[in-house]
Amino acid sequence: MEKSKSNMSNFWLCVIRGTIWALCIVMVAILLFAFVVKWATLGENVIDPVNQVIKIIAIFFGVWACLKKSYDKYLYKGMLIGALFAVLSFLLFSALNGSFSIDITFVWDLIFATAIGVISAVIAKILMK
């Protein structure tokens, strides 16, 4: 029974660590991209695709950070890191923006991030072998 609790706490610590890594990476990357947008003359149509790529990279490295210690339940870990990342980044960026409004964009972002988390877990497991 005690080993089961330990495994469960290790599971959640791993997911939380991966999510924090992803959030830190996305914050730094978005800040750097904001400087690039300010200094370069980039069109508005570039911002959304670059933001999506930044999210993908952040989630991948968050999943990688989680899985480098243990591969068990890797699909669940990837899924949860993606989902938690979507929720927490929504809350973080909404707080920075000063407005909280849940709409269909958030739902699609949640689905996208969760799927990217699962795909990242599969890729990370393959690359780490």
pLDDT tens digits, one per residue of 30-62? 999 999 988 888 778 898 999 999 999 999 999
pLDDT at residue 2 in the model = 57
CB 64 within 8 A of CB 25: no
| Token pair for 30 | 């978005």
- pLDDT, one tens digit per residue, over 59-96 is 999 999 999 877 889 999 999 999 999 999 999 989 98
| Token pair for 48 | 């959304």
Q: Alpha helices, DSSP H only, in 68-103?
A: 74-97
**Cα 29 from Cα 31, distance rounded (Å):** 5
The residue ranking higher by pLDDT, 41 or 16, is 16
pLDDT at residue 43 in the model = 78
Exposure string for 88-125, b = 16+ CB within 10 A, e = fewer:
ebbeeeeeeeeeeeeeeeeeebbebbbebbbbbbeebb
